[in-house]
Chain A
């Protein structure tokens, strides 16, 4: 469904990604793992069109989408959910959801989908008229996921839904994400630092490091893989060293 071959990009003259290869098949949940400043968010920006791709190809449903405008890519059914803080604080919860459905023309369908988002996240329904600025961190994360669903995407890219949230809330959100993926048939590319949690949810995982895919494999294999465990589950000196080296770029 989504295939990425040899993608290289960066900010200005600083290169971050140096040839990324990965693919996501329909109906899968795929995890993209890596520490701070390894290029995870940069890759998402390149896929969604916010960053120009220097080299390589990105195909979505068999058609090249690299260097297209973000609004065109969203129309094709590929939506990126940015980290929680990127909601619109001065808009109500409902307005935030409506802006997510900006590309759609079917009013009745949009209203129905708002109801559906409230079914998945009942707390948002209770707060539909409140300003998004008044929501808690977990509620904001639910809001941006719900807003991503409003575009009726075929593939949704979640950028660190667990960041800065309490473990219990992360568990809630992940189980809802799992339910959404099954019920709605949405393919998910999950970008995470919370490796253990992400690998429980995903079927396949990629580990990105210094701008290249370092390790890939089935989640069950990855969770027991010594390299992964050494780098992310245990936390080691080399990991900290890698972060310091690339931390500037993030």
Chain B
């Protein structure tokens, strides 16, 4: 029983981290009509930036999280403005420009990874924080970082949800995500909103990177597997749906932790895609995806 509880807590925590990255992928998909393949690299860079903030300023972990989110968010806006905007202007989605955008995303992924290599090298970095003694629940010792993930992620989700549903700017973001032309006619400054969406999505990825840092080592290749799993999470939950991204993340994390725990641990990274295949066979729109948005 203790073991199961341990697996569930660990699975949900890891899953929420997948969910944060998946949330960004979903946000960008609905806002810009593109699948952003360099999102894993922004997660990796966010994680490194967290280390940088801690070692340069010595601030506590929580402020490093906020700092990394802000810097990565700004970095994301710059990347979108300088590189992606030229392509998305011609239309995203299923257009020829949308195809170019996919290639551009892969290129950006390689470029960002090499920038990170120049800055931080190829060796894995430990996270320079200590949460002290683990918490003992019965027979299991649970590192506090898992609790940190749960609390921080919940706070972030609540803030994002409140922003999207309660503020005028959030309303405009949702409007732009649904239809850019109509939103333009409402007087919304669509290009600025697109930058905002991209920045928020990158900040979420950075948060995921900083949260997972104390559990895993941070290294420049961590983005690629995260991208695939977050992608699986987004599809399981229903692509483009924000609550779906979170739900998908938790399911993927839980499923893979339980399978690794009770079945064969060395196949850990396969289970996420097994879940993806099963969900796609049973419910192709994903769990919370109701409308399949076809864009011309």
Complex partner residue of B182 from A49, A69, A82, CB under 8 angstroms: A82
In angstroms, Cα B178 to Cα A69, docked, is 19
Question: How far does the Cβ of B17 sit from chain A's closest Cβ, in whole Å?
Answer: 27
Number of B residues, CB within 8 Å of A: 17
In the bound complex, do residue A86 and residue B172 qualify as a contact, i.e. CB atoms below 8 Å apart? no
Q: Given the complex, which residues of B lie within 8 Å of A99, measured CB to CB? A: 171-172, 175, 183, 186, 188
**Known contacts A88-B174, A99-B171, A102-B168; is-contact A71 B179 (Cβ 8 Å):** no
C-alpha spacing A71/B188, complex, angstroms: 6
Query: Is B42 close to A, CB under 8 A?
Result: no
> Does A151 reach chain B (CB closer than 8 Å)?
yes
Residue of A nearest to B175 (CB): A99
Quick check: A74 and B182 within 8 Å, CB to CB? no
Q: Which residue of A lies closest to B188 (CB)?
A: A102
Annotate B163-205 by CB proximity to A: 1 below 8 A, 0 otherwise.
0000010011011001101111111111000000000000000
The 7 closest A-B pairs by CB, nearest first: A103-B187, A74-B187, A70-B184, A86-B182, A71-B187, A102-B187, A71-B189
A14 vs B220: C-alpha distance in the bound complex, in angstroms? 48
The interface centre, meaning the residue of B174, B179, B184 with most chain A CB atoms within 10 A of its CB, is: B184
B171 CB contacts on chain A under 8 angstroms: 91, 95, 98-99, 102
Chain B residues positioned under 8 Å from A82 (CB to CB)? 181-182, 185
Q: Is A36 an interface residue (CB 8 A)?
A: no
A-B contact pairs, 20 of them (CB 8 A): A49-B184, A50-B184, A50-B185, A70-B184, A70-B187, A71-B187, A71-B188, A71-B189, A71-B190, A74-B186, A86-B181, A88-B179, A90-B174, A90-B178, A98-B168, A98-B171, A99-B172, A99-B175, A102-B186, A151-B187
With the chains together, A75 CA to B182 CA distance in Å? 15
Would you call B179 and A86 a contact (CB within 8 A)?
Answer: yes
The residue on A at minimum CB distance from B179 is A86
Q: How far apart are A129's CB and chain B's nearest CB, in angstroms?
A: 13
Residues of A in contact (CB 8 Å), total 24
Is A79 close to B, CB under 8 A? yes
Sample of 4 more A-B contacts, CB < 8 Å, known A71-B187, A82-B181: A70-B185, A71-B188, A71-B189, A79-B185
Within 8 Å by CB of B186, from A50, A69, A100, lies A100
B168 touches A80 (CB 8 A): no
Name the distance in Å between B257's Cβ and chain A's nearest Cβ: 33
Residues of B within 8 A of A91 (CB): 171, 174-175
Q: Does A66 contact B (CB under 8 A)?
A: no
A193 interface contact, C-beta 8 A: no
Contact A80 B187 (CB under 8 A): no
B145 to chain A, nearest CB (A): 36
Tell me which residues across on chain B come within 8 A of A88, comparing CB atoms.
174-175, 178-179, 182
Write out the residue numbers on chain B whose beta carbons fall within 8 Å of the beta carbon of A147. Answer: 186
* Residues in chain B near residue A89, CB distance under 8 A: 178
Across the two chains, which residue of chain B brings its CB closest to A104? B187
